[in-house]
Structures are given as structure tokens and as C-alpha cells.
Amino acid sequence: MMKRCTILATIIFYCAGIYAQKPSTGDIPKWVTAFAIDYNSNRLDRDAEDGYVDMDFEKQVSIQEQSVFVRHSFKIISEAGVQNRSQVSVEFDPSYQHLVFHNIQIIRNGQIINKLDLSKIKTIQQEAELDNFIYNGTLQALMFVDDVRKGDVLEYSYTLKGFNPIFNNKYSDEFVTAFPSPVYNLYYKVIVPVGRTLNIKNSTESTTPVVHLNAGNAVYEWKKSFVSPLHPDDHIPSWYNPYPEIMLSEFNSWKEVNTWAVALFPKNIPLSPELKNKILDIKANNSTDEARVSAALRFVQDDIRYMGIEMGVHSHKPGDPNKVFKQRFGDCKEKSYLLCTMLRAIGIDANPVLISSSTKRALIDELPSPGNFDHVTVRAKLDDGYHWFDPTISFQRGKIDNIHYPDYQCGLVITDTSTTLTAIKPHAAGKQDIKEIFTVKDFSGVAKLAVTTTYTGSFADEERTSFSNNSNYDMMLQMKKFYSYYFEKIKADSLTYTDDDNTGLFSTTEYYTIKDFWNIEKGVKKAQLSPFVIGSLLKKPDDQVRTMPYAIDYSGKYHEEVIVNLPESWNIDTSSFNISSPAFAYSSKFSNWQNQVMMTYDYETLKDNVTPEETDDFLADIKTASDKESLKLTYGDSIVKTNIGTSAKSNGIYIALAFLMLVGGVVWWAQKR
């Protein structure tokens, strides 16, 4: 009997789960505000993309009902729009949300054609983040609407019932008020129950809400018409949000957010015998706190693989460290929680840190809310101060002082007393030391190239990870691809690498054979040399007249030497240059000795962006560097072996000098005659 009851309960639970996953239909909630839309307007049609334009977007929220109503209307203005916007798609989390469709319809010549048919709505599980080893259980209700034609308006509305319980019944959200494409009508509404306070803050948005009371509830409404598209400049930093938005949160301070998070990461939890033994093993085999931190960090980074099952409350609530240790996988919050637990058991103070990996320092200007964070790391306190670690980065080596920590800029350290965000000082990202040696035995065009690169910090982490995940052959092909941009006829001969666990240094040595080192133009052999690695980093924005910051690779330091052993002695004009701008520092030096030409470069980015006001100077510095960084070797019977700079100005000078010498020679010969 007990067995039958258990089976029956399982069947009921399974059926209930299947039911919860399926959308249903129903009437529009009474608390929703309805208003008419002018579907005939065409004022913004010329700015439409993909053949359709947004006629209406509404988002209405009832905090008391824990429900979000959405209405969306699209006008199909071309055949491309029929292809691109003839479907309805809504995502929801079945663990706490239920999806109710109110209508799916086509409006054609003023007539409404009903298209709502539950049997045609497919519920699929795409798991878009599975490639990043994240499983969140999100479902997608998808319907391909038939008989959509040019000139139609496709409109649908639905309500999502249920808020994520992990936030303790507190609401927060962000309403975006401009988009890459135009919107004819934009409407937001929030109903706040009696006795609850909603904090509101605008980010580059001037619209203020219309506020009124309804049955004691505060109703906030924002309405905009004919919203023009906003096109951001290219390559803006991740922390810069070009789109205006309205921020909302029931959390009054970062202290409240910290209090919420403390409950998710309890201290002094009972440890399983297996986890205890691992901690004892680390303590016994490492005599100093630094060594013990390094051992614990390496174990969590390398032995606990990254995998997140983030359905429902587990979007923010970590699993028990004992469970994570046993199953040998976890996401960022679970790996960080496990590391903190191990370090505390060793006797080292450690705390989780909530991070926004994209917003970074701009988080300071956001309203306090748990929804602002997408990552968790660790801060540990030793005798020499605080150390920051990211347990999701694998294969980090070297002393803890040299362990790379990404440029997250600020975070919320979860302690019993935290009241605000903590600024995180930039950590040295690392260095690449590159030496490229060309050996040219004759003028046939064949040359040998040996490239030795030493990596530290984040560069070493990346290379170590790449070599761990790829075969030596695949890595050799990837590296060859870089140099094939400069030399088409290049062959990869071999690749070796060394890895030093104690220092964290990672080194590679590449060997190539090049068959087109010399290019022949009108009987003259030419070879173009440049800082191949550093030169690839100097990039100009596409939008050079800017109103937004331009993101640059704030990754560390580079030292590059290009050495060419030539078949004969070679004279070059020894020179050097030094560029120091707010964004980067760049210097070079050319020298030679007998048949060897040497080019030495140093490059370092000084920050992660160029402001609009700095753009003109930045572009000028890039041009100066590009004009001076290269060296062109030429050889022919009719000219002297020399180097020619890449700038047109330099070439012009040489041509002018040659012309004057020719004229002088003719005059001298005429006088002698």
C-alpha cells in the first residue's frame, strides 16, 4: 500500500509539473490599464529594421498580485518583416511562473483575426546558456503565426504570474525607454501596495512618472510616444549603458541587500567527513597560510568543474558546500561558497563578493538590488592584507600575490557588517614578452622564424587553459593563423611550451618556415617588418566622431622584439619614438649591428576606455605610432640597401633626395663635359 501511494504521489507531482509548464489562456486582469493604439501611423516607418516596426510595447506590474502584463504590437511593412516577425515567443521559468495568454491576433484593414490556439503553441526548452555550462530550466512558449501578410499588425498579450521567491517578496526592475529600433507607443506601469515603498531613479532619462492613488495603492505610470531609435557608437565599454532607463527597487540600501545575501551564505555549517579530510590534508601538507590558500584555491578552481543548475531560487541561492564538494561541480556562487567554507575551516577569514561582471564601477550609480549582480568571487584576509580570487578561473599558478583577479572594479563583500559597495583596486593583469627572430640566409625569399613568448598573470592563465583544452597540433594551427596574415606562404614547423607552477610563468616557442619573406616589385626585393603582436592591438574606432567612450583592451603590458638576421651587413637609420597618452604608453627603438636589424617595442594600456573628449588626441597618437612603428627593407641592383619608413612623407623625402642627386649628377657631368 505504501509503495502504491508513493508511486501515485510521484505521478501526481509529475503531472502537476507538466501542467505548470504548459501556458493557459484567460482574460486580461482587471488591474491592467487599456488604451487604444493608432495602427495607421507611419511616421517612424523609415527607421524600421528587419521589415517591421514596433507599434506598441506595454509592461504593467502588480506587486501585490506578483504579476507582469505585457502587450506587444508589430506592423509588418515589407516581405522581410513577414519572414522575421511572424512568430510569438515568450520565455518563463516554470519553477515559479505561470504563463497566461490573453490574445494573439492579426489586425488587417481594421479587422481583427483571432490566432490564439493553445494547440499550436509549442513549449520548448532551449537552454541558450548550456554552452556556458549553465542550466536554468527556462522554457519558451513559441507559436509560428500563419497567414501573416505585408501591412498586417501582429499583436499579442500575456501575463506572467509569480515572482522569484529568492528575493523575499521584494520587487526590483529596470524599464528601458529607448531602443535600437523605433517604438510608436511605450507604456510602463507599476502598482505599489499600501505600506510599501518603491525607490525610483532615472539613468539619462528625463521622463517622470504620473502618480495617483487607486484603492490606497500607489500607481506609477510612464508613457512615451514616437520614440526614435538610438544607435550607440561602436566598441563602447561594458559598463557604459547608452540606453536611458528607469530603475526601480524596494531595497532601500546596500545594507539591506547585504542582509539578504548573508542568509544565502551561512557560516559555520557542519562539514561532511570527506570535506573535513580534504581540509585536514591541505593543512597538513602546507605550512603557511599563503600555501594553504593557494592549495584550496587550486583545488576549487581545477577539481570542481564549472556547471550551474540555476532553476528558480537557485538563480541566487548556492548549493550546500558538502554537496558541491561531493558532486565535483558548481557555478560561481557555489565554487566561491565552497572556497570560503574551506578557508574558514583552515582559520582564514574569507567572504563571498557579489559582482557585476559587465556593469563594474557603474554599479555605484545603480539602485541597490540583488538583481544587479551576475557573478560571485572571494575576498580572503591574510597578514599582509586582503587578497581577491575568482574560483571560476582554472589553471592559475604562481604565488597568491601574482594570482590574476579580473578588473571587476567594485563589489558587495558579504559580511555581517557591510553597508556599501567596496572599491576593488586594479590587479596587475600580466605581461607578454615576445621575441620574434627572422633568419634570412639569402634573397630567395625563404626565411626561418622563431617566436618565443613568455606570459604572466592573466595571459599565462589564458594560454594554460588553451593548451589544456586543445591539442598541440590545434594550438600550432591557431598560432600560425596569426602570422599568416602577414606572410601568406608560411608553414608551421613545431610548437613547444613550458609551465612553471611556482612562478606562474608560461612560455611557448614557435618555429616557422616562410617562403615569401621578400616581395619583388619591379626587380626590387622588399620586406615589411612591424611589431606584429603590438601592432594588432592598436585599433581605431569606426565612429571617430564620438559622444560615447571607446573601449580599449585594458589587459596588461607588452614587450616585443623583432630581430632580423640578414645575409649581408645592413645599414639603417637608428631611431626611436615615445608616445604617452591618457590611454596608452608606447615606445620603440631601431638599431643594427653588422647584418642584424633589431626593433624593440613596449606597449601598455593605462585605462579601459577613451573618453569622447580624448578621441582626437587618441586618433592622432595611433596615427603617429602606425607611421613610425614599421620598417621596410629594400634590396636591388640599382639602389642601396636601406630601410624606408612606412609613412608617405618619409617616402616622399627619399624620392626628392634621389631626384636632387640625379639632377646634381647630370649638372656635374655636363660641366665636366
Are residues 386 and 531 both part of a single domain?
A: no
Domain closes at, from 192, 220, 250: 250
Average pLDDT over residues 649-673: 44
Are residues 134 and 188 both part of a single domain?
A: yes
Taking the alpha carbons at both ends of the chain, their separation in whole angstroms is: 127
- The predicted pLDDT at position 128 comes to 60
Are residues 110 and 246 both part of a single domain?
A: yes
Note the pLDDT tens digit of each residue in 502-549: 899 999 999 999 999 998 888 888 898 999 999 999 889 999 999 999
- The predicted pLDDT at position 649 comes to 36
Range of the domain at 336: 258-423
Provide the pLDDT confidence category of residue 672 given band limits of 50, 70 and 90.
very low
Structural contact between residues 265 and 352, judged by C-beta atoms closer than 8 angstroms: yes
Domain closes at, from 250, 272, 297: 250
Are residues 284 and 378 both part of a single domain?
A: yes
CATH number at residue 595: 2.60.120.1130
In a domain, 404, yes or no: yes
DSSP assignment letter at 358: T
Tally of domains within the chain: 3
- The predicted pLDDT at position 656 comes to 43
Name the residue with cell 517578496: 169
Question: Is residue 252 predicted with pLDDT exceeding 50?
Answer: yes
Average pLDDT over residues 163-175: 95
Backbone angles phi, psi at 607, to 5 degrees: -160, 175
In a domain, 472, yes or no: no
In a domain, 1, yes or no: no
In the chain, the largest separation of any two C-alpha atoms, in whole Å, equals 127
Higher confidence at residue 427 or residue 31? 31
Which neighbouring-strand residues pair with 218? 192, 213
Give how far Cα 249 sits from Cα of 189, 208, 367, 415, 641, Å: 14, 16, 7, 22, 71
Are residues 134 and 208 both part of a single domain?
A: yes
Domain closes at, from 200, 234, 250: 250
Provide the pLDDT confidence category of residue 18 given band limits of 50, 70 and 90.
very low
Note the pLDDT tens digit of each residue in 108-161: 999 999 999 999 999 988 756 656 656 667 889 999 999 999 999 999 999 999
Are residues 590 and 645 both part of a single domain?
A: yes
Give DSSP secondary structure letters for 541-558.
Answer: -S--S-SS-EE-----EE
The pTM score is 0.86
Name the residue with cell 582554472: 394
Provide the pLDDT confidence category of residue 369 given band limits of 50, 70 and 90.
very high
Note the pLDDT tens digit of each residue in 546-600: 999 999 988 789 999 999 999 988 877 788 899 998 999 999 999 988 899 999 9
- The predicted pLDDT at position 131 comes to 60
> Cβ of 503: how many Cβ atoms within 10 Å?
13
Is residue 283 helix, strand or coil?
Answer: helix
Are residues 415 and 550 both part of a single domain?
A: no
CATH number at residue 345: 3.10.620.30
Are residues 281 and 246 both part of a single domain?
A: no
- The predicted pLDDT at position 195 comes to 92
Are residues 285 and 220 both part of a single domain?
A: no
Note the pLDDT tens digit of each residue in 417-471: 999 999 998 887 789 999 999 999 999 999 999 999 999 999 999 999 999 999 9
CATH number at residue 23: 2.60.40.3140
In a domain, 468, yes or no: no
CA-to-CA distance for 584 and 618, rounded, in angstroms?
9
In a domain, 480, yes or no: no
Are residues 321 and 396 both part of a single domain?
A: yes
Note the pLDDT tens digit of each residue in 383-414: 999 999 999 999 999 999 889 999 999 999 99
User: pLDDT above 70 covers what percent of the chain?
Assistant: 90
Are residues 305 and 409 both part of a single domain?
A: yes
**CA neighbor of 525 nearest in space, from 514, 516, 534:** 516
In a domain, 476, yes or no: no
Average pLDDT, the chain: 89
Interior angle at CA 538, CA 537 and CA 539, nearest 5: 105
In a domain, 117, yes or no: yes
User: pLDDT above 90 covers what percent of the chain?
Assistant: 76
- The predicted pLDDT at position 124 comes to 86
CA-to-CA distance for 305 and 636, rounded, in angstroms?
60
Sheet containing 139-144, strands listed edge to edge, beginning at the edge strand earlier in sequence: 87-92, 139-144, 122-124
In a domain, 451, yes or no: no
Average pLDDT over residues 169-178: 96
Are residues 646 and 575 both part of a single domain?
A: yes
Q: Provide CB contacts within 8 A for 391, sequence distance 6+.
A: 297, 300, 301, 304, 332, 335, 336, 338, 339, 377, 378
* Cα dihedral 462→468→473→474 (10° resolution): -60
Which neighbouring-strand residues pair with 625? none
